[in-house]
Structure 1
Amino acid sequence: SLWGKHLWSPSYFAGSCGGAPLEMIKQYIQEQETPH
C-alpha cells in the first residue's frame, strides 16, 4: 500500500493529495477500519 502510516498528519495528507476530495478521505478511513 502506498498509504504509509506517516500519512495521517492532516496537513501532509492534504498537501500530498492536493486537497483530496472528502469522499476519497472517507473511503480511506473506512478501509482502515475494515478488517482485511
Structure 2
Amino acid sequence: MTRMNSQMSSRLLDGKRYVVFLIETVILFKPLGTASN
C-alpha cells in the first residue's frame, strides 16, 4: 500500500514539474514570438 502511494505521489510531483516547465517555456518564448512578428 505505502509503495503504491509513494509511486502515485511521485508521479503527481512529476506532473506538477512538467506543468510548471511548460508554463515557464510559454512565458519565456511568448515575447520572442511577438518580437519576431
User: Do they superpose with TM above 0.5?
Assistant: no
Q: Which has the larger radius of gyration?
A: 2
Compute the TM-score of the two structures, normalised by the length of structure 1: 0.39
- Give the structure with the higher percent helix: 2
**Larger RCO: Structure 1 or Structure 2 (Cα < 8 Å, ≥ 6 residues apart)?**
1
